[in-house]
Structure 1
């Protein structure tokens, strides 16, 4: 899809082009000469008309800019080798895997599905890691066969790998994950660094595990991993993490393990609403890099390859979701409900995490708000509320609503609740839109249903 749009100007929002993760909108967001919203050179209401709604829209330029921001910040602030790894759980697709691979990033996966998606998207196995607290034999073998580093999360991982790696074969590349015991002020469901977590070995288990792996022919321990949470705005916990990890790095090397990689996880937050104030990518990287460098120097350690795992901060602001306005219900002196044609099946974060978003009308983004509404979905749940007490211009049926910063954990957490098909997704760049995910159809939802033969006799 190619458009000619004249007199474009940057969308009038609080934006910082040098720090892509601080934006409320994709970096290519503009207004056309009629003040309608344009992303990647494509008018959003035209995309809605062509592809239907709900529709995920991903801006290629923003994804590439954030990939480069991570890579360049590491090169600038860290003297040793480095590798940013895309946390694909944020948005796992062939196109995201291909974009990350083409920008020189690695990728982390947590399932056979994410592994296959990344591999078929062109991500080299050598630049990938496999996470997970309950990996299947299928997942372990798939990772091993493709030279993917396996992040061992518990004793079960070690026991299975000891059985699965053939005698005399190349050892599995391992990265040991442990909980560092660091708390962050984030939602309790996305805290992973404190001791009471399903992820990773406890700190007092690390030394026995390291000792048990000495001399094992099936295992080559090449890295250590820890992660302290998600949607984090604080910097101090990352300084604390570096010291904890450096202690474990010294222990591992003293025991003879060729540990060359230190993976500090991800977790950098993004700006969903104006009141959010996350650090920039470069600020976050600078703090992490300086902390790791100092911690290693204090312990006389050669600098490891520094790895981090951005997910949300890499792809969230690259995405917007388009919806069509449908029904409307006004309860005098109480509330007005404006319903859209999607909701909790394509964005479960508000009902799950009470997450907040910013939105506007695609063809009237600068119109003044004259009412406060609850923007609700079409699902059979009272809690299916996308945005509460939202200031909006008065809407009409058919208006296109644009919700910003939906590139992460929307498509990847979507469902078929109420048997509603998942949306299509398009990639926009330089005025062209390309389909990267087909829209599901109602018949698609029946593909794996099986009706026992005896039920046919009753029909």
Structure 2
């Protein structure tokens, strides 16, 4: 198992952020999400530095869908990031965290009337408009409230990124955005003449998630800058900001070969400068929206091993006290993870096992056929790189409560999300 961030081994026990993982597993019970706050902050600072936020006034917007408790909003605000939200719930979380509304980008392919009203009333900085329906709604609500809203248009640039089909978004056949090839974007620009309460300031595109190659981003930069020039020449509208989305891949298993934050950022900035110089336009403010690459490797999940089922000459199932309710990605995407036993670090991996969850689903498998050290019931197993889309996609399937989240930092731990109790889980249910 690869060690990430502040992970260290002391007396064969795994520590994160200077905190003994065996001790916090016993203290807070399992399953338990553990957040390496030092690594989160380091990743944020790397993005701010290498994307030239201070020098060029570029923007890094954290993609909240990856992981967005109130405490995470506070971290990213302290680290000078903007925030990308995709729902009223995420927006409300940011509001309760006192996150600056002017630094929020409100995404979503089907924002409800209530969500749009909330965003306008709270003073969201930019709406990323996905379709004509939303465009009309924003104009209508802004007219009613006598205000002007800045927007981006989201486009589908027609770029095929090599990633899982469920997380491709830049190709033409997508539910997101105005399509270039059929003229939707330019029809939307023409409709702006009908509106007095909307101001177009930027374009947005997102080509997918868990992308390891840089070339698709270079293609995206070229397409977006060509659009900036065309829109200025044809419609006399100056596009001041270009949002290239997120999707930068991270390490989950040894098969993954991610590029560094520095390499991605510098490549994008260099390509933008080169392209703008070539076609003779001013370089717009650049925006990127990393989520997974900030928080994935900073998160881990601790489990207690229960039953061990050895089917001779077939497979050994090691079952833990969590599963698809706290990490749906293996079942949904066939995502791979690494694991270990926190109090046996450094021992040889002598057993091949399949780590199974406790849900009443045969597909509730966290890791298939992984090599691990000698194990027994009661051991604490850790899966790494669960910081993105673990807690945020957790569910109460089988009426299983959601785990707690503990932040560890400089030798101290802090509960940032309480463990859900059975009573919490039933609070909205009625018996009459």
Deviation of the 1:205 alpha carbon: 1.2
Which of the residues 305, 321, 327 maps onto 1:325? Answer: 305
Specify the alignment match of 2:179 in structure 1. Answer: 202
1:53 aligns with 2:30: yes
1:131 aligns with 2:131: no
C-alpha distance in structure 2 between counterparts of 1:293 and 1:368, whole Å: 50
Using structure 2 for the length normalisation, give the TM-score.
0.96
1:154 aligns with 2:134: no
Deviation of the 1:169 alpha carbon: 2.1
1:406 aligns with 2:386: yes
C-alpha distance in structure 1 between counterparts of 2:190 and 2:279, whole Å: 20
Specify the alignment match of 1:189 in structure 2. Answer: 166
Specify the alignment match of 2:73 in structure 1. Answer: 97
C-alpha distance in structure 2 between counterparts of 1:25 and 1:106, whole Å: 29
- SS of 2:52's partner is helix
CA contact 1:167–1:218 (8 Å) conserved in 2: no
CA contact 2:319–2:356 (8 Å) conserved in 1: yes
CA contact 2:341–2:382 (8 Å) conserved in 1: yes
1:46-445 paired onto structure 2 within 5 Å: 46-75=23-52, 80-148=56-124, 149-166=126-143, 169-203=146-180, 204-214=183-193, 216-254=195-233, 255-445=235-425
Deviation of the 1:146 alpha carbon: 2.5
RMSD: 1.4
Q: Show CA shifts across 1:67-96 (max 9, x none).
A: 0111100119x9732010000000011111
Please list every run of 5 or more consecutive structure 2 residues that lacks an aligned counterpart in the other structure: none
Equivalenced residues, count: 428
Specify the alignment match of 1:447 in structure 2. Answer: 427
Aligned structure 1 segments of 4 or more residues deviating by more than 6 angstroms: none
- SS of 1:129's partner is strand
C-alpha distance in structure 1 between counterparts of 2:3 and 2:87, whole Å: 30
- SS of 1:324's partner is strand
CA contact 1:25–1:317 (8 Å) conserved in 2: no
Q: Show CA shifts across 1:342-392 (max 9, x none).
A: 000000000000000111111112111111111000000011110011111
- SS of 1:434's partner is strand
- SS of 1:178's partner is strand
Moved more, 361-370 or 161-170: 161-170
Q: Show CA shifts across 1:118-137 (max 9, x none).
A: 22223211111011000011
C-alpha distance in structure 1 between counterparts of 2:212 and 2:351, whole Å: 32
CA contact 1:67–1:100 (8 Å) conserved in 2: yes
C-alpha distance in structure 1 between counterparts of 2:79 and 2:232, whole Å: 31
Q: 1:214 to 1:324 in 2, by over 3 A?
A: same
Moved more, 389-398 or 49-58: 389-398
C-alpha distance in structure 2 between counterparts of 1:354 and 1:237, whole Å: 23
- SS of 2:44's partner is helix
Q: 1:140 to 1:258 in 2, by over 3 A?
A: farther
C-alpha distance in structure 1 between counterparts of 2:238 and 2:105, whole Å: 17
- SS of 2:140's partner is helix
Q: Show CA shifts across 1:133-172 (max 9, x none).
A: 0001111111112222100001111111121113582211
C-alpha distance in structure 2 between counterparts of 1:276 and 1:93, whole Å: 28
Deviation of the 1:443 alpha carbon: 1.9
Deviation of the 1:261 alpha carbon: 1.0
CA contact 2:161–2:208 (8 Å) conserved in 1: yes
